[in-house]
């Protein structure tokens, strides 16, 4: 080989190495960056021998402090771990976007969000969770307005939720006294509450349609899919569609689930009855939209509807149902807490009616228990990632444009300076000297800022009503001779949600 060619290739290699290992000026401190892999080696969990983002962020925080930067493949990322910084940064319009989604073609309507915002949604799917710009603001505004009209998150919706609570209690009574898993029953009951708002019909808890939706939604939540580390480490985004990477990344599973949910939703859209439901309200909005650039226009609007409903299903299972199941696991570990809750329920509510939202201010220990459950569980510990639309400066560091921002809710809710012995379950930390409940602004399981969880208000009300209704009727006991699984945070976490370890209990 000619010397000049060797020199040219050496220069080319050096240039490539410099481009793929350098970081922007004033980028937050963090681990080294390498070609293709980014900082993956610094995220490796020694127990599983695989890169794990949640594990890695906890480790890097100890090394680099409350703000640090790293790379997922070629994608720059910055983790924020202090409450004040998270509140400040996520309140900015420059961080109100979602990052590009690898494998966005899995969602129904694929590129319809891109039609409205060609740049902001170039690699983002339709729906309200992962879209940006005009598309997101139009869909979120309409959804909030419409669901509020149906009582979404308001006390006026209480009667419907209590009907669902009563239905669940009757369903669980059939299994009383026997070891049982109640996770699926909780999921179905929560989905049924949403279903009545979205579609305008109430189903029985053993309806096959509900069971299918719950299974599909759970599979979506527990799978890393195209948002996982494997997908982010691919040199080019289009590689996710190659047969091998479709399988190992989980894309194929996501694609099949989305097709199933789309097929499930279509008959309800095609045969709508002009009823008072979210689906019919949105179909009326689609029918009257003549602006061809709108997210509601024609077929684009129908795909928005399908994706919005899927997103609401995911949010419902991810919040209320998961929180309930974690709370029951804590009851098995701390039976003395259950005794205090039931004494309080008997004193405040009696036994002739279900607990209601008017009882909530008087149920101090119950509120403290639920707050501690949400804090310790931290069911979405890294929130849903944000994305910068331009440079953002914080504490002298620059978070560059098009950088993934990861707010670590875990570090906020497990901060020993504000929650002493954060790994222990201690409801009393939320009670004052008179035994009155004290809410803490640092308990932020639903996130903060412009993209705070849409269903926060409904989830909080459902959690309270389902939890108190069940505890009023049943005692939650350990299966004789069986130790409940640990609830510590140190186990692998696929996807973005902390899954509850499987366990059985006895309802007495």
- For the chain, 508 residues long, give each residue's pLDDT as a single digit of tens: 677 766 666 666 665 655 667 888 999 999 999 888 888 889 888 887 777 889 899 999 999 999 999 999 889 999 999 999 999 999 999 999 999 887 667 888 988 999 999 999 988 999 999 999 999 999 999 998 888 887 665 566 788 889 999 999 999 999 999 999 999 899 888 888 888 878 877 778 888 888 888 888 877 777 655 555 566 666 667 777 777 777 777 778 888 888 888 888 888 888 776 667 888 899 999 999 999 999 999 999 999 999 999 888 887 776 788 899 999 999 999 999 999 999 999 999 999 999 999 999 999 999 999 999 999 999 899 999 999 999 999 999 999 999 999 999 999 999 999 999 999 999 999 999 999 999 999 999 999 999 998 888 888 999 999 999 999 999 999 999 999 999 987 666 666 788 889 999 999 9
Q: What is the pLDDT of residue 102?
A: 74
pTM, 2 dp: 0.90
Domain identity same for 373 and 383:
no
- What kind and span of H or E run contains 79? strand 75-80
Domain identity same for 293 and 144:
yes
- What kind and span of H or E run contains 116? helix 112-116
Q: Which residues pair with 69 in a beta bridge?
A: 78
Domain count across the chain: 2
- Geometric angle at alpha carbon 200, from 181 and 104, rounded to 5°: 70
Domain identity same for 237 and 128:
yes
Binding residues, as ranges, are 453
Q: What is the pLDDT of residue 447?
A: 94
Domain identity same for 279 and 391:
no
How far is 219 from 229, CA to CA, in rounded Å?
18
Among 386, 222, 221, 384, smallest CA distance to 313 is for: 221
How far is 117 from 147, CA to CA, in rounded Å?
25
Q: What is the pLDDT of residue 231?
A: 65
Q: State the burial class of residue 362 (Cβ atoms within 10 Å of its Cβ: 0-12, 13-18, 19+).
A: middle
How far is 403 from 76, CA to CA, in rounded Å?
5
Q: What is the pLDDT of residue 239?
A: 75
Domain identity same for 265 and 181:
yes
**Structural domain for 282, as ranges:** 96-378+414-507
Domain identity same for 245 and 139:
yes
Rounded percentage of the chain residues whose pLDDT exceeds 70: 90
Q: What is the pLDDT of residue 144?
A: 87
How many alpha carbons fall within 13 Å on the CB side of residue 274? 1
CATH number for position 87: 3.30.43.20
Domain identity same for 66 and 7:
yes
Handedness of CA 455, 461, 463, 469 (dihedral sign): negative
Domain identity same for 180 and 300:
yes
Domain identity same for 424 and 333:
yes
Q: What is the pLDDT of residue 247?
A: 76
How far is 372 from 443, CA to CA, in rounded Å?
9
Domain identity same for 347 and 360:
yes
Binding residues for heme, as ranges, are 453
Q: What is the pLDDT of residue 204?
A: 82
Among 64, 59, 67, smallest CA distance to 83 is for: 67
Tens of pLDDT, residue by residue over 80-125, are 999 999 999 999 999 999 998 876 678 889 889 999 999 999 889 9
Domain identity same for 197 and 50:
no
How far is 301 from 307, CA to CA, in rounded Å?
10
CATH number for position 423: 1.10.630.10
Q: What is the pLDDT of residue 406?
A: 97
Here the tokens at position 417 are 């300076």
Domain identity same for 481 and 352:
yes
């Amino acid at each position: 080989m000619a010397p000049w060619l060797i020199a040219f290739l050496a220069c080319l290699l050096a240039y490539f190495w410099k481009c793929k290992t350098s970081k922007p000026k004033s980028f937050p401190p963090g681990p080294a960056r390498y070609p293709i892999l980014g900082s993956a080696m610094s995220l490796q969990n020694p127990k599983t021998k695989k890169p794990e983002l949640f594990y890695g962020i906890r480790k890097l925080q100890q090394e680099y402090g409350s703000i640090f930067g790293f790379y997922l493949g070629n994608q720059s990322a910055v983790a924020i771990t202090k409450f004040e910084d998270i509140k400040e940064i996520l309140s900015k319009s420059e961080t109100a976007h979602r990052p590009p989604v690898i494998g966005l073609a899995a969602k129904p309507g694929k590129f319809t969000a891109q039609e409205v915002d060609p740049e902001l949604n170039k690699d983002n799917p339709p729906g309200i969770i992962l879209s940006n710009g005009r598309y997101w603001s139009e869909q979120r505004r309409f959804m909030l307005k419409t669901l509020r009209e149906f009582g979404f998150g308001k006390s006026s919706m209480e009667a419907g939720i209590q009907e669902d609570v009563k239905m669940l209690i009757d369903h669980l009574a059939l299994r009383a006294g026997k070891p049982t898993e109640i996770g699926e029953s909780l999921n179905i009951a929560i989905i049924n509450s949403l279903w009545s708002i979205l579609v305008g019909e109430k189903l029985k808890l053993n309806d096959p349609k509900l069971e299918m939706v719950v299974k599909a939604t759970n599979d979506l939540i527990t799978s890393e899919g195209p948002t996982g580390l494997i997908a982010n480490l691919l040199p080019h985004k289009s590689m996710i569609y190659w047969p091998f990477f479709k399988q190992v990344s989980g894309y194929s599973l996501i694609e099949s689930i989305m097709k199933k949910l789309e097929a499930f939703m279509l008959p309800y859209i095609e045969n709508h009855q002009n009823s008072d439901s979210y689906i019919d309200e949105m179909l009326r909005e689609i029918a009257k939209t003549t602006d061809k650039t709108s997210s509601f226009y024609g077929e684009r609007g129908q795909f928005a509807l399908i994706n919005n409903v899927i997103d609401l299903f995911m949010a419902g299972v991810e919040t209320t149902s998961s929180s309930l199941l974690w709370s029951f696991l804590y009851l098995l570990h701390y039976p003395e807490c259950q005794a205090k809750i039931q004494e309080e329920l008997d004193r405040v509510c009696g036994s002739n009616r279900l607990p209601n939202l008017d009882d909530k201010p008087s149920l101090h220990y119950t509120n403290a228990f639920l707050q501690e459950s949400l804090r310790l569980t931290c069911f979405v510990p890294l929130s849903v990632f944000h994305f910068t639309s331009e440079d953002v400066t914080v504490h002298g560091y620059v978070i560059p444009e098009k950088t993934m921002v990861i707010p670590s809710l875990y570090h906020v809710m497990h901060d020993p300076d504000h929650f002493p012995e954060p790994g222990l379950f201690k409801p009393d930390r939320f009670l004052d000297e008179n035994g009155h409940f004290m809410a803490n602004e640092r308990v932020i399981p639903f996130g903060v800022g412009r993209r705070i969880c849409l269903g926060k208000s409904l989830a909080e009300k459902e959690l309270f009503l389902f939890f108190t209704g069940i505890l009023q009727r049943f005692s939650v006991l350990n299966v004789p001779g069986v130790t409940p699984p640990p609830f510590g945070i140190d186990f692998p976490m696929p996807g973005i949600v902390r899954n509850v370890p499987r366990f059985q209990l006895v309802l007495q």
